[in-house]
Structure 1
Amino acid sequence: MPDFWIIGPIAWDLALYVDHLPASGHFVQAVESTERPGGTGANVATALSEAGARVHMVGYVGADAAGQRMTTALTAAGVNADHVQVLNGRTSSVVLLIEPNGERTIIGIHPDLLHDIAIPAAAVGPGDIVYFAAWRDVFTPAAQAMAAAGALVTSVPPGTVPTMRYLIGSRNDFTVIPKDTTAIVTEGAKGVTVHSADDAYHFPAISADVVDATGAGDAFAAGLLWAIGREQPLVEGVQLGLAWAAATVQVKSSVPIETPPWTSEQKPQA
């Protein structure tokens, strides 16, 4: 397996389970509340590490208690946190309003500082897999340098085409479907559509009892990247990603740290 470099948000989540979303000016009582690790970058890094991969997390935390908790959580999950930078400011934090059908509404709290991080492009070697779990235009030079060094570089939209081998994201993330790279478009309960230069292929979602949709897209990306790292066909990667996503939505979690939700059948052995 190659080394994985995950670049993206690290966040501390406050999850509120509610009977419904309140209308403007109205009140809603949370049925349940919990604080927990999150952030799209940390989610993907943790899932890959729990599966047995060597994972380097690149992102930032603030010099606060939430940052210490997130660094500890990543390290406990086996993620290399040497490139998690401590910036002046607050660790990213979000409020999740989770409805009975598992759908969640996300509210960010602190200003985003991801554009200020330093990306260790020189540390990435040939054959490594890089995933930008969030994209900022200032990342372009580093992405190009890592691709030129022989790494397989992937990203959420819009990424940098043609540097990116794959773009992975939800339908809402794509303003246009690019023609010069492979776009892997998640569509929630409808499944996933893979757009290549020649054709488009659709994969239905796996049926699941959804209790919390948080992290489903991140679990899908992790499963897909795991299969890519094992040099499996893209079709198998999409199917594995769908299985990991289906398992993830059945638990109340932003990211599986202590108990990965997928079964041994869904998680290939390293």
Structure 2
Amino acid sequence: MQQTRVVVVGSANMDLVATASALPRPGETVLGDDFVMVPGGKGANQAIAAARAGASAAFLGAIGSDAFGVTLRARINAAGVDTGQLRVVYGTSGVALVMVSADGENAILVTPGANAAFTELTEGELAAVREADVLVAQLEIPVATVTEAVLAARAAGTRVVLNAAPARQVPDELLAAVDMLVVNENEAQAFTGRGRDDPSALLALAPRAVLTLGAEGAWYVERGTEAVYVPAVRVDAVDSTAAGDAFTAALAVAWGEGRDLLAAVRWAAAAGAACVRRLGASVALPQRAEIDELHARSA
């Protein structure tokens, strides 16, 4: 089978991850347990996840001229992702401060750094988008850049998966060009005013959508059909930080490979479950064999 070509346009951050028995409340200091520094950012995570899930993946984004930028490029490249179009912007790279509790819940603060300067796509970047089977985008970079990439993909007949996170105001022309929308419950509430009680409300935004519910599974909705609930794959959770990124990337890969969309969502659910078994973002993203194993177990 020929590899699916997945191009991810999005953010790259250095994740500074601290673990503790419980997350601190506002004004509270909590003694932590451990600390790791891990390359992340939703864009970089999804590019790495797509490569590990079996795609030929390329990443379009921006890193800083600092030491974090050097590490980010090296780690993304080491995962088998094409970084030939990755920009270097003078200044700091994006940074995410991540706190993780003993039960796998997390709180994240992101400072965009170079990601904020990722604007006006070059002809080389646009060519990469046009040549892809699937374009994957998120909202951690300027919305105008996401819109430019998505419209270029639509014009070229490239499928578009938008992980609309974090929830932000977006132009109608962006949503009109999206083939598949992926959001969690908070994002669904922000965009439609409805959560898990009405996943079909997302169909006012895109022709197909997935509403992810973490350990409680996901809803898949498509215009003209009934909503379908997809249960989560049960695992012992350690850190849920990049689970949504693993899910979104695996969904794009499976769809690009020609799988039935509901089957693609089920395989993506296995990818998300495989991811939460390890601490960190990019280091926790599963290989294809791990996804297949969990998917087979849940079938």
TM-score (norm. length: structure 1): 0.91
Question: Paired residue for 1:184?
Answer: 210
- Is the helix fraction higher in 1 or 2? 2
Alignment of 1:248-263 (within 5 A): 248-256=275-283, 260=287, 263=290
Q: Deviations over 1:91-141 (max 9, x none)?
A: 111111100110110012454634633432233335621010326431323
Structure 1: gaps of 5 or more residues: none
How far did residue 219 of structure 1 move? 0.7
Question: Paired residue for 1:147?
Answer: 154
Bigger Cα displacement from structure 2, 189-198 vs 72-81: 189-198
Asked if the contact 1:40/1:133 (under 8 Å) is kept, the reply is yes
Question: CA separation of 1:146/1:14 partners in 2, compared to 1, >3 Å: closer, same or farther?
Answer: same
Opposite residue 139 of structure 2, the aligned amino acid is A
SS in 2 for 1:256: helix
Question: Paired residue for 2:103?
Answer: 101
Give the whole-Å Cα distance in 2 for the aligned partners of 1:229 and 1:104.
31
Give the whole-Å Cα distance in 2 for the aligned partners of 1:189 and 1:86.
37
Identity of aligned residues (%): 27
Bigger Cα displacement from structure 2, 38-47 vs 192-201: 192-201
User: CA RMSD of the aligned region, Å?
Assistant: 2.3
**1:194 and 2:220 matched:** yes
Question: CA separation of 1:212/1:123 partners in 2, compared to 1, >3 Å: closer, same or farther?
Answer: closer
Structure 2: gaps of 5 or more residues: 165-169, 193-201
**1:204 and 2:234 matched:** no
Question: CA separation of 1:67/1:257 partners in 2, compared to 1, >3 Å: closer, same or farther?
Answer: farther
Question: CA separation of 1:141/1:223 partners in 2, compared to 1, >3 Å: closer, same or farther?
Answer: closer
Give the whole-Å Cα distance in 2 for the aligned partners of 1:220 and 1:258.
10
SS in 1 for 2:203: coil
Give the whole-Å Cα distance in 2 for the aligned partners of 1:211 and 1:98.
9
TM-score (norm. length: structure 2): 0.82
**1:246 and 2:273 matched:** yes
Bigger Cα displacement from structure 2, 248-257 vs 221-230: 248-257
Give the whole-Å Cα distance in 2 for the aligned partners of 1:255 and 1:55.
15
Opposite residue 153 of structure 1, the aligned amino acid is V
Pick one of 138, 143, 146 that aligns with 1:137.
143
Give the whole-Å Cα distance in 1 for the aligned partners of 2:203 and 2:285.
38
How far did residue 25 of structure 1 move? 2.9
Pick one of 245, 259, 280 that aligns with 1:218.
245
How far did residue 31 of structure 1 move? 0.5
**1:236 and 2:263 matched:** yes
Give the whole-Å Cα distance in 1 for the aligned partners of 2:46 and 2:246.
6
Asked if the contact 1:161/1:181 (under 8 Å) is kept, the reply is no
Opposite residue 162 of structure 1, the aligned amino acid is A
Give the whole-Å Cα distance in 2 for the aligned partners of 1:213 and 1:54.
25
Question: Paired residue for 2:36?
Answer: 34
Opposite residue 242 of structure 2, the aligned amino acid is G
Give the whole-Å Cα distance in 1 for the aligned partners of 2:129 and 2:69.
25
How far did residue 142 of structure 1 move? 3.1
SS in 2 for 1:30: coil
Q: Deviations over 1:52-110 (max 9, x none)?
A: 32111011100000000000001111100012111133111111110011011001245
Asked if the contact 2:160/2:177 (under 8 Å) is kept, the reply is yes
**1:162 and 2:176 matched:** yes
- Is the strand fraction higher in 1 or 2? 1
SS in 2 for 1:107: strand
